[in-house]
């Protein structure tokens, strides 16, 4: 569980700090307020990959319970590769963005019989792994100094280095600063340095209006309730429960048939479901 946060205000930055003073501030906070998560205690490749996929677009406190249950049910790549997709999706329920579960399952299928890649470019060839997730896996699983950005890291660098900047800030500028910070202790122990950055970012969000709103890449998430994302998740979960015909799905969910048909077609083309003998069912 997260430790309590200090209520002391972080001073706003009137000018850009030196990298040395910035590093000292972040480490100083982390030494007193380090958060504890199960994926920080277990830094095996599999643990890190599962947690990083789950943490995409989902806050850490919400992930803890699902992460623990997932590793209990599927303790390694081999068990996940052999598991029915239906079981994986059933356990994933509540995390949202089910495409991540499908991608994680496909990833396990690919690496089951081969060594897991230790190269960033090779990692990016795996399902669901973009440049930032590849960088985080390199840092957390292998303790390799690879720069990457996630929401809390972005918050920290915007707060310290772009506090008085007008206009939207491109991640390319932030990434250069992340790379510049990987010196000395931060270079030899990037795993802890990135933990420290993320913990400080969470603190900043609790103390100031979210600095990430100044980012060029900041997108305010639309409400889930009533959205197509909700309908899509409801359709998929209904098929996870039991194979159903189109009419049964329409009767079960009670939404416009045209909306349901559109999502059934999308779920089928993406590899979630198949239609056989008039029944939609989860791909085996």
pLDDT per residue as tens digits for the range 108-146? 999 976 789 999 999 999 999 999 999 999 999 999 999
pLDDT of residue 226: 81
β partners of residue 169? 215
pLDDT of residue 1: 40
Query: In the structure, what pLDDT confidence band is assigned to residue 2 with cuts at 50, 70 and 90?
Result: very low
SS3 212: helix
Query: In the structure, what pLDDT confidence band is assigned to residue 100 with cuts at 50, 70 and 90?
Result: very high
- Above 50 in pLDDT, residue 7? no
| Whether residue 52 lies in the annotated active site | yes
Q: How far apart are CA 166 and CA 182, in angstroms?
A: 27
β partners of residue 244? 280
Average pLDDT, the chain: 91
- With tokens 């090779």, the residue in question is 122
Higher pLDDT, 107 or 218: 107
Is-contact 37 64, C-beta < 8 A?
A: yes
- Annotated active-site residue in 52, 65, 125, 192: 52
pLDDT of residue 169: 87
pLDDT of residue 5: 40
- Above 80 in pLDDT, residue 78? yes
What pTM was estimated for this model as a whole?
0.88
User: In this structure, what are the phi and psi dihedrals at residue 245, rounded to the nearest 5 degrees?
Assistant: -80, 170
pLDDT of residue 11: 47
pLDDT per residue as tens digits for the range 23-46? 999 999 999 999 999 999 999 999
pLDDT per residue as tens digits for the range 200-251? 999 999 998 777 777 766 666 667 788 899 999 999 999 999 999 999 999 9
Nearest to 174 by CA among 183, 165, 184: 165
């Amino acid at each position: 569980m997260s430790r309590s946060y200090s209520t002391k205000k972080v001073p706003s930055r009137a000018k850009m700090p030196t990298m040395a003073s910035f590093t000292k501030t972040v480490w100083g906070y982390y030494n007193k307020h380090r958060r504890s998560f199960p994926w920080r205690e277990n830094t095996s490749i599999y643990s890190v990959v599962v947690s990083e996929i789950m943490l995409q677009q989902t806050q850490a406190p919400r992930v803890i319970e699902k992460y623990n249950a997932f590793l209990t049910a599927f303790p390694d790549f081999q068990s996940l590769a052999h598991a029915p997709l239906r079981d994986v999706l059933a356990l994933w329920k509540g995390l949202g963005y089910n495409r991540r579960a499908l991608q994680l399952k496909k990833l396990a299928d690919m690496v089951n019989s081969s060594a897991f890649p230790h190269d960033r470019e090779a990692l990016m060839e795996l399902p669901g792994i973009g440049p930032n997730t590849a960088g985080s896996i390199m840092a957390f699983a292998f303790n390799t100094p690879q720069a990457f950005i996630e929401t809390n890291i972005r918050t920290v660098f915007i707060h310290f280095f772009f506090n008085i900047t007008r206009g939207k800030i491109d991640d390319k500028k932030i990434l250069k600063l992340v790379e510049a910070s990987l010196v000395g202790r931060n270079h030899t122990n990037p795993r802890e340095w990135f933990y420290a950055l993320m913990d400080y970012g969470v603190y900043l969000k609790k103390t100031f209006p979210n600095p990430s709103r100044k980012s060029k890449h900041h997108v305010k998430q639309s409400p889930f309730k009533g959205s197509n994302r909700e309908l899509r998740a409801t359709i998929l979960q209904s098929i996870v429960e039991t194979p159903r015909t189109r009419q049964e799905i329409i009767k079960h969910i009670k939404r416009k048939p045209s909306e349901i048909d559109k999502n059934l077609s999308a779920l089928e083309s993406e590899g979630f479901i198949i239609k056989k003998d008039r029944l939609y069912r989860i791909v085996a």
